[in-house]
Amino acid sequence: MLYLVLILAIIYLIYKWGTNTFDYFEKRGIKYNKPLFLVGSRLSILLKNSSMVDSVQKTYKEFRNEKISGMFEFKHPTYFIRDPDIIKRLAIKEFDHFTDHRLVLDEEVEPLFAKGLFGLTGQKWKDMRATLSPAFTGSKMRLMFNLMNKVGSQMTASIRNQIDSGKNNEVEFKEFARNFTLDIIATCAFGIEVNSFEHPDNEFIKIARKATNFGDIPIYKFIGFFLFPKLMAKLNIKFLDKDLYVFFDEVLSDTIQQREKKGIVRNDMIDLLLQAKKGSLTHDESQEETLSNIGFATVEESDIGKHKVKRTWTDEDLMAQAFIFFFAGFETVSTVMTFMAYELLLNPDVQTKLQKEIDEVYKSLGGKELTYEHVQGMKYMDMVVSETLRKWPAAPVVDRNCTKPFTLEYDDKKIDFEIGRNFYVPIYAIHHDPLYYENPEKFDPERFSDENKDKIANVLYAPFGIGPRNCIGSRFALLEVKTIFYYLLLNFSFEATSKTKIPIQFVKIPSIFQIEGGLDIALAPRSK
C-alpha cells in the first residue's frame, strides 16, 4: 500500500511540475491554445499529424481578432504576435530587450549550433555579427560571385550534355537543387570543387544529408532539448551526429593550413573567416550598394553589424560559423529553389517572361561571361524571387527571447515580459493574410514591380527575418538563387511529369519547411 501511495505521489508531483505554467496566460487575460501535459501546443507536430506551417496557420486563424495570443512550447508559455505595429516595436524599436533566440543547445555539447551566429547570445552575438557582417557586403559578394558563376555554368552545361546524349531529363528538383547549392557552398565556403552531378555520393553530400535530416532525430530529443537542456548537456546527448564535428574540423583545419602554408587566396568564406580572426575584415562603406540595386528581399544591416570588435575568436568559433553558412546555404536555399521551380511550373506565363529577360541578358553578353551586375540588373528575376519568398518564406516563423524586462502596453492591456519569455512572429501567416496581400494564394510577381513594391511595408514582408537579428546571408542566398535560375532557364524549360504532385503537401516534421515527397519535374532543353 505504501508503494502505491509513493507511486501516486510521484505521478502527482510530475504532473504538477509538467502543468505548473499552464495558467500563465489565463492570469494575464490572454487567449491561448489549451496545452497538453509536457507537449503543450505541439502534440500534432510531434505525432507528425501536422506540418510546421499548418500549425502556425491554425494558431494565427484561431484568435483572428487578437493582436497577441498565447501558446506553449512544451511547458514554456510563448507569446504569438500577429499585429504588425507590435511586431515592429518589439523586434526593431525595442530590440535591446529581445536580442536573442531561445537557446536550448549547450555550447559544450553542441558547439556547431550553439557557437554559430544563430545560437550565440548577448554581447558575443553582437561581436560575431559585427565581425561577419563585412563578409556579406556587396564588394565581397562580387568576389564570391566569380566562384558561384563558374559552378552554375559548368554544372548546367554538364546536365545539358547528359540530356542531349539521351539520358532521362526527369529530376526530383529538391535533390537536384541540393546538388547545385552544395557545390556552390563547397567552393564558396571551403574552396573545394565537388561536382555533385558527376559524383552524387561524395563525402560533402553525405555530411549535408546528415546535417539536415531532422526526420531521423527521435522525438525524445526534441522534447529533451526544450524541457531539460541542462540534463541533456550533462548526459552529453548530442542533437547532431558526431561525424559532423569530425568532418568540419578536418576540412576546416586542412584548408586553413593549406592556405597559410601556400599563401592561397580565393576570395571565399574561408578567406573572410581568416580575415575576421585577424581582425582585418572591416566594412567598406564606399563600396556599399543601395538595397534597391540588389533585390527587394535583401535585409538591411543595422548599426550593430557595423561596430568595431575587439575580441579574439578561436578556431572552434570559426568552424561554427562555417557550419551555419554550410547548413543555411545548403538546406534553406535549395528549399527556396524548389518552391520557385514549383511556381514556374504552375505559372508558365511567368516562366516564359522570365526566360525572355534571361535571353536578353545572354544576348547582351555577346559570348562573354555573366557578371554580378547583370544578375543584379534582372528586374523581373528579382520580382519572381521576391514573390517566391513572400509565398514561401525562408523563415516561416521567427522567435525572440526577452533579455531585459519590458512592459508592453497596447489597447487596454499590459504585458510584462520577464527575462526568458519568448515570442513568435508568424511570417508565413502574415505573408498569406488577405488583409495585407490581395489574393495571397496567387503567385503574382507584379506585387514587386517598381510601381507596386513601395506599397509593401517592411514588417509585412520579412522572408529573412525582422530587425537586427535578421539573416546575415540574404545577399548571398539571393545571388545564389538568381545565378542558378539564370543558367537553368537559359538552357531548359520546366515541365510537369506523370509523377508531379499538384498541389503540394508539406513534410510533417518539427522545424522543417519542405515539400512532402519532393518535386518531380522534366527539364526540356531549349535552343539558345
Q: Tell me how crowded residue 132 is: count the other CB atoms within 10 A of its CB.
A: 22
Whether residue 188 is annotated as binding a ligand: the answer is no
The radius of gyration of the chain from alpha carbons, rounded to an integer in Å, stands at: 24
Q: For strand 406-410 and strand 413-417, is the pairing parallel, antiparallel, or unpaired?
A: antiparallel
**Residue at grid coordinates 558575443:** 124
| Cα–Cα dist 106/419, whole Å | 19
Q: How open is the CA angle 356-357-362, to the nearest 5 degrees?
A: 95
DSSP 244-309: HHHHHHHHHHHHHHHHHHHT----SHHHHHHHHHHT-----GGG---GGGT-TTPPPP-GGGGS--
Grid cell at residue 410: 497596447
Of the candidates 266, 249, 273, the one whose C-alpha atom is nearest the C-alpha of residue 136 is 273
DSSP summary character for residue 298 = P
| Cα–Cα dist 446/298, whole Å | 18
Distance of CA 197 to the CA centre of its chain: 24
Burial class (CB in 10 A: 0-12, 13-18, 19+), 407: exposed
Grid cell at residue 22: 499552464
Residues 6+ apart with CB under 8 A from 187: 147, 148, 150, 151, 193, 194, 268
| Cα–Cα dist 485/411, whole Å | 47
Residue 74 gets the label, from left (phi > 0), alpha (psi -120 to 50) or beta, of left
Query: Residues within the annotated binding site?
Result: 471
Query: Residues within the annotated binding site for heme?
Result: 471
